[in-house]
Amino acid sequence: MRKFLTLLVLLVAFLPKISATSLTTETNAFNNRISTETIDLKAALNSFNNYLTNNSNKISNALDINLIKTIATNLKNNNYTAAFSALENAVNDDNLTNLNLSSKINNYLNLKSDLISFVNTNKAKLDVETGTDEGLECSLSLLDQIKQSFNEVKPIFSTTIEKLGKTFSTVIKNHIAEKKNINNSELNNIIDEYNELASLLANLVEKYYNSLDDYKSTFKVISGSEKLFESLIRKKFKTDLDNLLENAEATLKAPVNEFINKRWDILENDVTELIESDKTIPEKNENIYSKIDKVEAVNEKFINAINNIIGKLDINSIKDKLNKVLNRGKNEFAHAIEYLEAHLIIGEYDIELVDGHDAKVTIDRAKELIILDRLFGIQEFKNQIRLANNLGTLKFNLGTYTYVANKSTVSVEDNNETKKEYKIIVKGDVNNNGNVTISDAVEAAYYSLNDRDLDEYQVLAADMNNNNTVTISDVYLIALRALEGGN
C-alpha cells in the first residue's frame, strides 16, 4: 500500500511537467506549420497575382456566367481544388495549373480546425487569466505567430480579391452588353441566373463570416479579448469586401446605364409603333396592358432577387449598396409603368342595356374616370361590360362597384387586390347625388353664368354635348333628361 502511495505521489508530481512539455511541443509544432504554410501561400498568391496582371484578358475571355457559378459553388463548399481546376481548365494554361494555389489555400485553411481543436483541448492551461505560466507563454507564442502569418498573407490575398473582383466584373459587364436587345422573357431568365449567382456569393460571404466567428472564442482564450480579433482580422476583411463592391460598382456603372437606356429605347419604339398601328383602341390598350404585366413581373422578380441577397447578409456596407441598387431599379420600373399607362387610349364604348336602352361609356384610364352618358343600374353596367367585352380581353376583374351620393367609384381589382379606383361621372348628375333632376340643371345654369363654382368632375357631368364648355344648351339637355325621369 505504501509503495502504491509513493508511486501515486511521484506520478502527480511529474504530470504537470509532462503536460507542459506536451503543450510546448504542440505549440512549437503549430508555429512551424503556420510559418511554413504562410511562406507557401505567400509565394503561390504572389505568382497568381502576377498571372492575373499579365493575363486578365485571357481569363475574362475564358469565363462565362455558368463557369463563375461553378467556381462560386465550389468555393461555397470549401472545394478549392475543384474551383481552381475549373478555372485552370477554362484558361487552359500550364502556368496557371502549376501554381497549385488550391492546395496551398487548403493547407493554410486546414490549420484553423486543428488550431481551434488544440486551443479547446488545452483551454484551461492556455487561458490568460486562469491558465498555467507555461500555458500563458504558449498562448502568446501562438498569438504572435498567427498575427505575423496574417499580416504577411493579408495584403497579398487582398490584392487577389481585388483583381479577381475586377475580372469577374468585366465578365458580367460584357454579359450585360451582349443582352441589350433581349425580350422580357429572356430578361426574366437572366434575373434568375444572376439571382442564383448572387445567392451563391451571398452564401459564400455568409459562410466566410461564420468561419471568422469560429476564431472568436479561440482568440479570446489566446489573447483574453475579442477586440484584438475584431481589429486584426474582421475589420480588415470587411474593408476588402467594401473595396470589392466599389470596384464592381465602378466597372458596372457605365454598362448598366447603357443597358437601361437601350431598354428604354426599345420600350419607346414599341409603344410608338403600337400607337401608330391600325389596331383598334381596345387592341392597343390590351397590348399596353400586356406590356405593363410583363414589366411588373420583371420588377417583382428583381425586387425578390435583391431582397433575397439582403436577407442573407448581415453586413451594413453591402446592404446599403444593395438598397441603392434596389431603389434605382424600383424607380426605373415605376417610370416604365407610368410611361405605359400614360399611353393608354381613352376608349368610348357603346353598350346595349338589358332594358333595351342604349348607353355610351367612356373609360379614361389616364385620369381614372368612367363617364356614363346616362343613368342606369350599376349591376346592369357591370354585367354589360363583361358581356360586351369592349375592353378587349379584360385585364381587370370589374367586380366591386360602389355608387352612392357624393361618392361614385368603381374599384378595379386584380386577383382580389385593388389596383385602381375609377371615379364614375354620370352626364347630367352635376351635384353627384345619384339622380338627374332639375336641381342639376339649376347648378349648371348658375355655372354657365359664372355665378357658381364647380369642380372638374361636376363640369364633366354638366358638359352634356361634350364640347368642353357648359352653356345654356347643356342646361336644356339636363332639364330634358330630368323631365324624362333622369334616364
What's the pLDDT tens digit per position in 33-55?
Answer: 999 999 999 999 999 999 988 98
Round to whole Å and give the CA distance between 211 and 199: 18
What percentage of the chain reaches a pLDDT higher than 70? 80
Instruction: Give the contacts of 343 (CB within 8 A, at least 6 positions apart).
Output: 271, 275, 288
Residue in the block written with cell 441603392: 324
Instruction: Give the integer Cα–Cα distance in Å for 184 and 196.
Output: 18
* CATH number of this structure's domain 347-483: 1.10.1330.10
* Rounded distance between C-alpha atoms, residue 372 and residue 384, angstroms: 13
pLDDT value, residue 314:
67
Instruction: Please choose, from the candidates 86, 65, 88, 64, the residue with its C-alpha nearest in 3D space to the C-alpha of residue 74.
Output: 86
* 456 has pLDDT over 60: yes
Higher pLDDT, 357 or 156: 156
pLDDT, mean of residues 389-394: 35
**Contact, 360 vs 388, CB < 8 A?**
no
- Is the CB of residue 456 less than 8 Å from the CB of residue 448? no
pLDDT reading at 164 higher than 70: yes
Residues 263 and 420: their CA atoms lie apart, in Å, by: 27
Nearest alpha carbon to residue 220 among 207, 235, 236, 233:
233
Q: Tell me the CA end-to-end span of the chain in Å, nearest whole number.
A: 122
Mean pLDDT of 376-390: 42
Task: Please state which of the ranges 3-7, 325-329, 429-433 shows the lowest mean pLDDT.
Answer: 3-7
Residue extents of the structural domains in the chain: 21-259, 283-342, 347-483
- Tell me which of 99 and 179 has the higher pLDDT: 99
Confidence of residue 387 (pLDDT cuts 50, 70, 90): very low
- Report pLDDT for 411: 53
pLDDT above 70 (res 17): no
Across the chain, mean pLDDT equals 77
- Residue 414: is its pLDDT beyond 60? no
Quote the pTM value: 0.60
Amino acid at 477: L
